[in-house]
């Protein structure tokens, strides 16, 4: 059975690959109108010798003569020219800054969600410049601003669908002026903030504007659906009158001090004080290569993870939020497939039980070696604790561009135990791998494959993981299939591998598996429909077999989504899941799902109201089979926005599980989030959550004062409670305090 499945998988992949190369040339010809954006859409930038005051008024002489990018395209819901209201973009530069000016014509009131920095760009009216200094379509920068002058920035990550990482922060300057018929913007982006090749006189660039009240966004260059508006493959050209000067001195130091009080009530400990210091540093080795250093980093100001009710048999994949790991994170993490990653930065600073351990120091070198090669080198050292000795984490990743949009990349990582001043010879976990991504020039066709190997003491067999797949993306239709094969002895000590481990009678068993995911989607964009923007029909198939041929899981989903012109969404899903449960499964101490094969259907309906409204909401209902019983899931989210200073939300999720032989099981998750912007520099965020499955009630409240660009003072209060599972006492009596903490942190960004 195993050989048969493997042969079928190889044949399918072979046929898809043949199909890929057969249509490669045809695909290139089909989208020529988009692939020559670099030639059709060009804007010139010239040096200015006169000073520019960043006040948003555009009254300097250079803005009267600078080249203009105008006549934007409507990108959503349909790609069409001559977007209204009009937008104009201009650029100039001097020794230290690249300056960007926008004139955004508009006579109506703006929709702005918050005054808080780093808002979600797509939530309200905003305008942004997108820069790809290396012109590789692999990574870039986005700098955006709202009509209220609220900044956001992020890293652009290339791929079949370019992505935006908003967790990246850096220092730049801007101002906005509002008039009756327009709002104008001036940006000053330091060359120190960017990573670029000082010999290049052509960058890739695009501009994007949100027109929220009309449920549209506009872009300078046309981008075909279903690609998003930040897709790096379809930028225009920024032509320099001379190559910008190389940044010779680019060194930033960000020291911090932190302190506070902690009370571990659960263990009966007294209140303890804490005080700590440390620093981060950023060093530009070259204008395109950055070195990040950290000594005794502290992440106490990072927002806590939201607890999730987990009804699956496997662990939840949570995103990285720690600032040190974010810049160029895709160089390290773009290996494997989610949720099977050879490298995942959240493993650094955690022991095997998932508890945090202090990081002593670390360094990351990342960026571009040349216009085709990106590298990432990282080394981190953690303290030891009662569970494990100190650990050293090292990783090297290299991406090499081949052709216009294809890529070959390699990864090697090493986790090594460290104690008593030396490395432990038998305490290590290493991973090495290579992957290839092939793409047609227009991005319509893509194929990929990779091979990874793990190294552990006394293990030399069945330690491989390999992936392969192919995808096709057009304006109204896309399909892809991806397969991964994980051997039973493939370990990823610095990564994340789901479903490799199962449990049998309190014993952990590792079983290799083959996993395939296939998705097809068809979209209809009606031209003259006053109600619907997009109809989306989708089909997904997820199939997992163990190495010995036994079925693990099969999941099929049919879905139909309606995206409305009033910015609301209505979504329908029908799921069929077949699960081979190998060991008894419990959700509480009183119920047990027996091992066996279960075949179930579930129906899901979801409605998301118009997010532009002062009051908006989301409703989600799911019902159907769940092993040998039924599951009814109810979700309700209510949000109120007081523009632009306040956002208040409450969320409720209830999972009602019914098995024939047990009492009904109810898992309730209740959370609330309050965000208040007292100004563009002072923000208060409070998050509270009650999670029945974990029997916990948590409060996290954070006050942030940005007293200088990229320099902050934080006060954070956390309060954690356990909920006793005792129906004989009242709810308030069942709440028992576990621990409390009050922490402050101050950091200051020095540019040297």
Q: Tell me the CA distances in angstroms from 88 to 141, 190, 235, 237, 602, one per residue in order.
A: 20, 22, 16, 16, 49
pLDDT digits (tens, 9 = 90+) for 642-684: 888 899 999 999 999 998 878 888 888 899 999 999 988 999 9
Helix (H) / strand (E) element for 333: namely helix 329-333
223 CA to centre of own chain: 22
Is pLDDT at 613 greater than 70 in this prediction?
yes
Per residue, the 3-state secondary structure of 1-35, as one string, reads CHHHHHHHHHHHHHHHHHHHHHCHHHHHHHCHHHH
- The residue behind tokens 């070198």 is 365
pLDDT for the residue 315: 58
pLDDT for the residue 377: 95
Is pLDDT at 626 greater than 60 in this prediction?
yes
- Distinct helix (H) and strand (E) counts, the chain: 7, 43
Q: Pull the structure tokens for residue 179.
A: 């008039």
CATH of the domain at 163: 2.60.40.1190
Residue 143 located in a structural domain:
yes
If pLDDT is split at 50, 70 and 90, which confidence band does 723 have? confident
Q: Are 398 and 377 in contact (CB under 8 A)?
A: no
| Among candidate residues 555, 305, 299, 340, the one with its CA nearest the CA of residue 431 | 340
pLDDT for the residue 160: 59
**Window from 450-464, 578-592, 604-618 with minimum mean pLDDT:** 578-592
What is the distance between the alpha carbons of residues 675 and 613, in angstroms, rounded to a whole number? 17
pLDDT for the residue 17: 44
> Residue 620, exposed/middle/buried by CB under 10 A (0-12, 13-18, 19+)?
middle
- The residue behind tokens 């009662």 is 386
- The mean pLDDT of 343-368, rounded to a whole number, is 84
pLDDT for the residue 604: 97
**Window from 103-117, 361-375, 493-507 with minimum mean pLDDT:** 493-507
If pLDDT is split at 50, 70 and 90, which confidence band does 566 have? confident
Residue 161 located in a structural domain:
yes
Phi and psi angles of residue 13, each rounded to the nearest 5 degrees, phi first: -60, -40
pLDDT for the residue 346: 82
Q: 3-state DSSP helix/strand/coil percent for the chain, to nearest 5?
A: 10, 55, 35
- The domain of 141 spans 33-240
DSSP category for residue 346: G
* Structural domains in the chain (count): 1
Is pLDDT at 503 greater than 60 in this prediction?
no
Is pLDDT at 8 greater than 60 in this prediction?
no
**Window from 144-158, 321-335, 388-402, 568-582 with minimum mean pLDDT:** 321-335
pLDDT for the residue 731: 56
pLDDT digits (tens, 9 = 90+) for 23-58: 443 434 334 455 578 889 999 999 999 999 999 999
- The mean pLDDT of 703-726, rounded to a whole number, is 86
Residue 579 located in a structural domain:
no
Is pLDDT at 198 greater than 90 in this prediction?
no
pLDDT for the residue 469: 95
pLDDT for the residue 28: 40
Backbone φ/ψ region at 287: left (φ over 0), alpha (ψ -120 to 50), beta:
alpha
Q: Are 168 and 326 in contact (CB under 8 A)?
A: yes
What is the distance between the alpha carbons of residues 648 and 671, in angstroms, rounded to a whole number? 11
Strand partners, 337: 340
Residue 227 located in a structural domain:
yes
- The mean pLDDT of 475-487, rounded to a whole number, is 92
If pLDDT is split at 50, 70 and 90, which confidence band does 732 have? low
| Among candidate residues 644, 606, 647, 600, the one with its CA nearest the CA of residue 626 | 600
Threshold 0.85, pTM exceeds: no
Per residue, the 3-state secondary structure of 224-273, as one string, reads CCCCCCCCHHHCEEEEECCCCCCCCCCEEEEEEEEEEEEEECCCCCCCEE
Q: Give the chain's largest Cα–Cα span.
A: 81
pLDDT digits (tens, 9 = 90+) for 630-645: 999 999 999 998 888 8
Is pLDDT at 306 greater than 90 in this prediction?
no
What is the distance between the alpha carbons of residues 444 and 34, in angstroms, rounded to a whole number? 11
If pLDDT is split at 50, 70 and 90, which confidence band does 412 have? very high
- The mean pLDDT of 527-550, rounded to a whole number, is 90
Top pLDDT among 25 and 187 is at 187
Q: Tell me the CA distances in angstroms from 408 to 25, 204, 434, 451, 609, one per residue in order.
A: 21, 22, 7, 12, 43
Strand partners, 423: 418
Residue 418 located in a structural domain:
no
What is the distance between the alpha carbons of residues 702 and 686, in angstroms, rounded to a whole number? 6
Residue 430 located in a structural domain:
no
pLDDT digits (tens, 9 = 90+) for 213-247: 888 889 999 987 767 888 888 899 999 999 888 77
Q: Which residues contact 606 (CB under 8 A, 6 or more apart)?
A: 569, 570, 571, 573, 618, 619, 620, 621
pLDDT for the residue 239: 96
Residue 186 located in a structural domain:
yes
Q: Tell me the CA distances in angstroms from 438 to 150, 235, 342, 370, 450, one per residue in order.
A: 39, 20, 21, 20, 12
By three-state DSSP, how is residue 214 classified?
helix
In the chain, what is the straight-line distance between the N-terminal and C-terminal CA atoms, in Å?
Answer: 64
**Window from 168-182, 424-438, 470-484, 712-726 with minimum mean pLDDT:** 712-726
pLDDT for the residue 21: 42
What is the distance between the alpha carbons of residues 244 and 738, in angstroms, rounded to a whole number? 57
pLDDT for the residue 1: 44
- Averaged confidence pLDDT in the chain: 85
- The residue behind tokens 């003072």 is 713
Residue 228 located in a structural domain:
yes
Q: Are 262 and 272 in contact (CB under 8 A)?
A: yes
């Amino acid at each position: 059975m195993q050989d048969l499945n493997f042969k079928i998988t190889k044949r399918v992949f072979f046929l898809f690959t043949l199909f890929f190369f057969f249509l490669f040339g045809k695909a290139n010809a089909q989208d020529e109108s988009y692939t020559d954006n670099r030639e059709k859409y060009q804007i010139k930038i010239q040096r200015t010798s006169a000073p520019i005051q960043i006040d948003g008024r555009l009254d300097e002489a250079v803005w009267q003569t600078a080249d203009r990018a105008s006549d934007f395209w409507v990108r959503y819901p349909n790609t069409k020219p001559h977007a209204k209201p009009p937008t104009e973009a201009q650029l100039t530069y001097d020794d230290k800054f690249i300056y960007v000016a926008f004139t955004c014509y508009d006579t109506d009131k703006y929709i702005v969600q918050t005054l808080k920095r780093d808002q979600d760009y797509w939530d309200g009216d905003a305008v942004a410049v997108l820069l790809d200094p290396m012109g590789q379509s692999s990574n870039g920068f986005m700098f955006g601003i709202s009509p209220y002058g609220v900044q956001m920035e992020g890293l652009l990550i290339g791929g079949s669908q370019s992505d935006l990482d908003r967790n990246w922060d850096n220092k730049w300057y801007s101002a906005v002026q509002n008039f009756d018929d327009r709002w104008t913007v001036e940006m000053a982006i330091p060359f120190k903030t960017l990573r670029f090749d000082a010999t290049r006189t052509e960058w890739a660039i695009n501009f994007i504007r949100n027109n929220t009240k009309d449920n549209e966004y506009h872009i300078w260059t046309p981008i075909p659906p279903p690609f998003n508006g930040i897709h790096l493959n379809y930028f225009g050209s920024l032509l320099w009158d001379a190559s910008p000067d190389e940044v010779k001195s680019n060194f930033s130091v960000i020291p911090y001090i932190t302190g506070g009080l902690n009370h571990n009530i659960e263990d009966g400990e007294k209140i303890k004080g804490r005080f700590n210091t440390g620093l981060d540093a950023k060093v530009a080795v070259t204008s395109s290569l950055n070195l990040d250093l950290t000594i005794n980093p502290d992440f106490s100001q990072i927002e806590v993870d939201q607890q999730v009710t987990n009804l699956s048999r496997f662990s939840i994949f949570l995103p990285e939020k720690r600032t040190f790991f974010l810049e160029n994170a895709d160089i390290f993490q773009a290996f494997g497939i989610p949720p099977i990653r050879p490298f995942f930065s959240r493993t650094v600073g955690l022991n095997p039980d998932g508890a945090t351990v202090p990081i002593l120091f670390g360094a990351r070198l990342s960026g571009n070696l040349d216009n085709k090669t990106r590298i990432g080198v990282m080394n981190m050292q953690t303290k030891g604790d009662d569970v494990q000795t100190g650990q050293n984490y090292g990783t090297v990743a290299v991406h090499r561009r081949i052709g216009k949009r294809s890529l070959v990349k390699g990864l090697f990582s090493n986790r090594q135990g460290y104690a008593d001043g030396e490395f432990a010879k038998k305490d290590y976990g290493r991973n090495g791998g290579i992957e290839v991504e092939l793409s047609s020039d227009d991005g319509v066709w893509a194929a990929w494959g990779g091979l990874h190997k793990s190294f552990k003491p006394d293990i030399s067999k069945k330690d491989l993981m390999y992936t392969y797949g192919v995808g096709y993306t057009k304006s109204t239709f896309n399909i892809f299939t991806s397969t991964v094969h994980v051997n039973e002895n493939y370990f990823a000590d610095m990564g994340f591998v789901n479903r490799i481990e199962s449990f049998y009678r309190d014993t952990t068993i590792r079983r290799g598996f083959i996993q395939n995911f296939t998705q097809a989607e068809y979209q209809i964009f009606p031209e003259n429909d006053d109600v619907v923007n997009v109809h989306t029909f989708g089909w997904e198939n997820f199939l997992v077999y163990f190495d010995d041929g036994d079925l693990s899981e099969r999941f099929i989903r049919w879905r139909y989504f309606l995206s409305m012109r009033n910015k609301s969404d209505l979504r329908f899903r029908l799921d069929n899941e077949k699960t081979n449960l190998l060991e008894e499964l419990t959700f509480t101490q009183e119920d047990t799902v027996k091992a066996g094969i279960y075949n179930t259907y579930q129906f899901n309906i979801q409605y998301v109201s118009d997010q532009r409204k002062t009051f908006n909401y989301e409703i989600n209902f799911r019902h159907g089979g769940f092993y040998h019983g039924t599951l009814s899931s109810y979700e309700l989210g209510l949000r109120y926005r007081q523009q632009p200073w306040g956002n208040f939300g409450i969320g409720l999720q209830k999972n009602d599980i019914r098995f024939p032989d047990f009492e009904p099981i109810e898992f309730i998750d209740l959370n609330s989030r309050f965000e208040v912007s007292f100004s563009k520099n002072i923000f208060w965020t409070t998050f509270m959550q009650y999670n029945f499955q974990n029997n916990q009630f948590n409060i996290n409240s954070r006050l942030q004062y940005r007293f200088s660009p990229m320099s902050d003072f934080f006060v954070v209060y956390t309060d954690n409670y356990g909920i006793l599972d005792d129906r004989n006492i009242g709810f308030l009596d069942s709440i028992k305090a576990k621990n409390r903490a009050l922490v402050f942190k101050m950091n200051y960004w020095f540019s040297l």
